[in-house]
Amino acid sequence: MVSFYLKKTKELSSSELHDIFALRSEVFVVEQECIYQDIDGKDIEALHVYGKNKNEIVAYARILQPGVSYSDYISIGRLLVKKKDRGKGLGHELLSFCLHSIERKNLKSSIKISAQSHLENFYNIHGFKKYGEGYLEDGIPHMAMIKKI
């Protein structure tokens, strides 16, 4: 059973922050073989959403206010599910939790994401639509997607 949490950076324990950064590195740097600067300075301002199964973080995303990644949009990024826990619907649960959290916080901006292209249908299910042309980000095909609020 996975429980989801929403915390500001200053509310995270040092072990939670360590586990989040380790999991992001495991998925985005090691598994996807993509060398890039994951810790980008945006985490300080982020709302961190994570799912825990017992004492292990198995899912994660961050929510950024307008002006952090995009001037006029909220952003959800770094969305991931640990490899051994994929295929169980956790990605949908995680994204739904993010969207409900944005709604509960009464954030009124539309949401823009930089989605890996192969996940277009996943995001479509949650109301995101492709915006513009695809592009490469760190050597991986991506596309901008927007969910109107």
pLDDT digits (tens, 9 = 90+) for 85-130: 999 999 999 999 999 999 998 777 899 999 999 999 999 999 999 9
Say how many domains are in the chain.
Answer: 1
Q: What is the pLDDT of residue 8?
A: 97
Q: Is residue 47 part of a domain?
A: yes
Instruction: Supply the pTM of this predicted model.
Output: 0.94
Q: Is residue 138 part of a domain?
A: no
Helix, strand, coil percent content, the chain, rounded in steps of 5 = 35, 40, 30
Q: Is residue 124 part of a domain?
A: no
Q: Is residue 148 part of a domain?
A: no
Largest CA distance in the chain: 41
The DSSP symbol for 34 reads -
The neighbour count for residue 8, using CB atoms within 10 Å, is: 11
Q: What is the pLDDT of residue 107?
A: 74
Q: Is residue 149 part of a domain?
A: no
Contact between 83 and 32 under an 8 Å Cβ cutoff? The reply is no
CATH number (domain holding residue 87): 3.40.630.30
Q: What is the pLDDT of residue 36?
A: 84
Q: Is residue 141 part of a domain?
A: no
For residue 95, what are the domain limits? Answer: 2-108
Q: Is residue 147 part of a domain?
A: no
pLDDT digits (tens, 9 = 90+) for 17-68: 999 999 999 999 999 988 888 899 999 999 999 999 999 999 999 999 999 9
In 3D space, the residue among 136, 132, 111 whose CA is nearest the CA of residue 123 turns out to be 111
Contact between 49 and 57 under an 8 Å Cβ cutoff? The reply is no
Q: What is the pLDDT of residue 106?
A: 78
The neighbour count for residue 79, using CB atoms within 10 Å, is: 21
Q: Is residue 133 part of a domain?
A: no
Residue type, 60: Y
